[in-house]
């Protein structure tokens, strides 16, 4: 029976990745068998996509070497792949995507990277002015402070959180009940080795944080 249920669970996740809506099947299976990400709806904003390049780093001759938009696009694709493999619905959106208007999903995460200065660290802000339960947003932040920091070995860089983060435009556009977070994954200057050459590691930290959030949401009364 255990083997049968495990096989059924694997099949269900595979079908979910293929695009099938399996809400009914999910109700037949024991709670937890498919994992907390199964059938969740997650949206990722690939920072600056469709709008501009974001921060641009140059070499000594003034030639562009790397852009923020390219770095976060690579990370967003990897996060999407990892979360989809766990059975979630995932959409990657552009910075000012028309689909943000009234967006209703289980979680929105906007990915950005900080400037080319020789600094190091990550930071985030949540949509705490909206109609989302503050305890859920605290839990969301706690998960990133634990798992993103643990996976990437980056420290927080709180004194550079800006108004553009706390009053992020997408926070004002999405449905007020959608939990959302904007994450600066690190500094392109001081953290470039990690962000540019180890995007899988960065993505694992984000995915682990998302998984933690849904695990806490599932177990909390």
The domain spanning residue 159 has which CATH number? 3.40.630.40
30 and 74: one domain?
no
Domain count, the chain: 2
Backbone dihedral region of 166: left (phi > 0), alpha (psi from -120 to 50 degrees) or beta? Answer: alpha
Q: What percent of the chain has pLDDT over 90?
A: 79
Strands 41-46 and 89-93: parallel
Sign of CA dihedral 124, 179, 76, 56: negative
86 and 8: one domain?
no
pLDDT at 31: 43
**Lowest-confidence region among 11-25, 27-41, 51-65:** 11-25
93 and 3: one domain?
no
133 and 76: one domain?
yes
Task: Express each pLDDT in 85-123 by its tens digit.
Answer: 999 999 999 999 999 999 999 999 999 999 999 999 999
Cα separation, 32 vs 156, whole angstroms: 32
160 and 131: one domain?
yes
Backbone dihedral region of 94: left (phi > 0), alpha (psi from -120 to 50 degrees) or beta? Answer: beta
Structural domain boundaries enclosing 84: 36-219
69 and 125: one domain?
yes
Q: DSSP character for 145?
A: I
**Lowest-confidence region among 19-33, 59-73, 119-133, 207-221:** 19-33
147 and 91: one domain?
yes
Q: Which of 113, 114, 91 is nearest to 178 (CA)?
A: 91
């Amino acid at each position: 029976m255990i083997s049968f249920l495990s096989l059924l669970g694997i099949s269900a996740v595979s079908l979910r990745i293929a695009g099938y809506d399996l809400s009914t099947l999910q109700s037949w299976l024991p709670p937890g068998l498919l994992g907390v990400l199964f059938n969740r709806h997650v949206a990722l904003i690939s920072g600056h996509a469709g709008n501009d390049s974001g921060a641009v780093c140059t070499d000594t001759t003034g030639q562009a070497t790397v852009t923020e938009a390219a770095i976060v696009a690579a990370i967003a694709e990897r996060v999407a792949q990892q979360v989809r493999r766990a059975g979630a619905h995932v959409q990657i959106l552009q910075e000012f995507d028309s689909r943000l208007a009234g967006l209703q999903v289980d979680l929105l995460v906007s990915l950005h990277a900080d400037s080319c200065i020789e600094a190091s660290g990550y930071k985030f802000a949540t949509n705490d002015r909206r109609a989302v339960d503050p305890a859920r947003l605290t839990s969301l932040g706690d998960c990133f402070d634990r798992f993103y920091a643990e996976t990437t070995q980056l420290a927080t860089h709180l004194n550079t959180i800006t108004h553009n983060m706390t009053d992020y435009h997408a926070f004002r556009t999405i449905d007020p009940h959608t939990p959302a977070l904007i994450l600066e994954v690190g500094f392109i200057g001081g953290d470039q080795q990690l962000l540019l050459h180890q995007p899988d590691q960065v993505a694992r930290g984000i995915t682990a944080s998302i998984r933690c959030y849904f695990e806490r949401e599932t177990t909390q009364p």
